[in-house]
Structure 1
Amino acid sequence: MKKEEVPQDKSNLASANIREMVYAVDENGKYTTTLSTGWDPKTIALDNAIKEIEERITLAKEKVLKKETSPIPYYMELHKMDIPVLASYVGIWQWRVKRHFKPSVFKKLSKRTLEKYAEVFEISIEQLKNSNG
């Protein structure tokens, strides 16, 4: 794409006065960098991804309130993590993290394990234990 053809569409970046660096071809046919305020297809894709994340957070919160799951999946979604990422942060096997989603197992977790989760989620153990989503 030529430098003068780089999209300057309205996006969330533009409203925050942020521009994205992209590569383009200059008038001499050489690659160079230039700034873009946004590109409609990318903005639509990002908006859709954010909506999907918000829906997953809402669903996780509802499951916590219904006592169908522990607060761990809610905080995991809130921090945009998945099981492998969370497991690596807390230093626990993935199958154990998934097991901690069960309210009956979560109630029996040691203080040390709760501390690991609370530290990763940047909340207190009490907030984690008494969480209603």
Structure 2
Amino acid sequence: MTEFNENGVTVRLSVADWNASAGTLVATFTPDETGFHLYSTTLPPQGVEGVGRPTGVRPTGTVTAAGRLTVDAPVRNITVPGVRSALPVYPDGPVTATLPIRATSAGEAKVLISYASCSSTAGCTIPVADRAVALHTSGDSLTFGSG
């Protein structure tokens, strides 16, 4: 397990059920302050009319996705002054995303983490785009590294 805190959100990463070079990457995004939400994984990469950034978990290198990213929270649509379209967000508070992964070979990998958090009363934090977290695969093990 590893975690980092950047731009108002703590992200905790772990891998569950690792066996025979496959498992589930678990990423929990917890806003530092109450009243903040994260944007849906389905939000376009540049947001809606420039507002928001999608929550994303993307492996690269010797680790690849083996299924779809799922999130444990329902999506709700909100409206923001000055934006014509609704924005898909998760309820305020932490959300956990899971992604089936598999190692394609032994070696170095990264998980690229993206997100933005906002509050309807306190504004938004600066988005995080492709924050790299290092992984290492070796035989039947996967470990988090620095980087």
TM-score (norm 1): 0.23
When Rg is computed on C-alpha atoms for both structures, the one with the higher figure is 1
- Structure having the higher helix fraction is 1
- Structure having the higher strand fraction is 2
TM-score (norm 2): 0.22
Higher relative contact order (CA 8 A, sep 6+): 2
